[in-house]
């Protein structure tokens, strides 16, 4: 007898993965590049860094100002924010500067991708080394949220929609490849097992100064 699967059953066999990457920024206190977790969100207007990280890394700060963040459902949040300069090193060792804002709290965190066996085999066969090694649904808390102001500087979108066998999208960031999107947690047959994948060199950014005081996420 044919039975219908409930929506809950279907959801339990899939995952929604947010786009993240481990990347290097300059620590002015230790005088070396150190890894932080980037979270890429096209729904955010401005790029922000957790205030604790900015202070701990000794990032050059400008005068603090009151910022207003607009969220879902018309919710607004006011907080003290400073513009800071960060120096980033990409996968090729190219260094460039960005000017972003601080925020006391970015997010409480979320799970990383959970790689299925078929996706593991696919990535290994195609020599795709993910720039975020958390691949077992570990809880992770990002340090920097990348909004639309710098999203397309850090994520290369050439129109190719490469995916893993489970359906996750493969994105190219300046730090290396990463996964995001909706994917099945069960094995899927009949999907392509090869993909043409190449990182493109990142062009040095000229630091830009933002005069906007309102921040949206």
Q: Please indicate whether residue 194 or residue 41 has the higher confidence score (pLDDT).
A: 41
Q: What sign for the dihedral angle of Cα 91, 116, 40, 153?
A: positive
Alpha-carbon separation of residue 62 from 82, 201, 209 (angstroms): 6, 31, 11
pLDDT at residue 8, rounded to an integer: 53
Q: What percent of the chain has pLDDT over 70?
A: 78
The average confidence (pLDDT) of the chain is: 83
At residue 64, the pLDDT reads: 84
Q: What percent of the chain has pLDDT over 90?
A: 65
Alpha-carbon gap, residue 178 to 167, rounded angstroms: 13
- Inter-residue contact 29 to 128 (CB < 8 Å): no
Please report the pLDDT score of residue 145 as a whole number.
Answer: 97
Q: What is the pTM of this model?
A: 0.80
Q: Rounded distance, CA 15 to CA 137, Å?
A: 10
Pairwise CA distance, residues 81 & 84, whole Å: 9
pLDDT in tens, 22-76: 999 999 999 999 999 999 999 888 999 999 999 999 999 988 888 877 665 567 7
Mean pLDDT over 9-31 rounds to 90
| 115-134: average pLDDT | 97
Give the integer Cα–Cα distance in Å for 116 and 122: 10
The pLDDT confidence band at residue 194, using thresholds 50, 70 and 90, is very low
Most confident of 6-15, 72-81, 92-101, 179-188: 92-101
Contact (CB, 8 A) for 44 and 18 = no
On the question of pLDDT at 147 being above 80, the answer is: yes
User: What pLDDT, on a 0 to 100 scale, did the predictor assign at position 159?
Assistant: 73
Number of H helices, E strands in the chain: 4, 14
pLDDT score of 5 more than 60: no
Please say whether the beta carbons of 180 and 168 come within 8 A: yes
pLDDT above 70 for 202: no
């Amino acid at each position: 007898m044919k039975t219908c699967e409930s929506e809950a059953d279907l959801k339990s066999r899939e995952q929604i993965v947010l786009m993240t990457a481990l990347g290097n920024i300059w620590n002015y206190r230790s005088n070396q590049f150190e890894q932080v977790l980037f979270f890429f969100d096209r729904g955010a207007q401005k790029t922000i860094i957790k205030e604790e990280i900015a202070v701990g890394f000794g990032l050059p700060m400008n005068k603090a100002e009151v910022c207003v963040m607009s969220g879902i459902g018309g919710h607004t949040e006011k907080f003290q924010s400073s513009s800071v300069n960060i120096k980033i090193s990409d996968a090729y060792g190219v260094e460039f500067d960005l000017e972003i804002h601080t925020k006391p709290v970015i997010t409480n965190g979320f799970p990383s991708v959970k790689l299925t066996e078929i996706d593991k085999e696919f990535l290994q066969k195609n020599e795709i080394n993910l720039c975020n090694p958390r691949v077992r649904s570990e809880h992770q808390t990002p340090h920097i949220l990348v909004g639309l102001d710098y999203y397309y500087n850090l994520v290369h979108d050439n129109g190719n929609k490469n995916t893993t066998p489970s359906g996750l999208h493969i994105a190219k960031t300046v730090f290396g490849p990463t996964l995001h999107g909706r994917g099945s947690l069960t094995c899927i047959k009949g999907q392509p097992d090869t993909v043409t994948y190449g990182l493109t060199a990142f062009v040095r950014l000229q630091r830009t100064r933002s005069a906007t005081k309102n921040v949206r996420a």
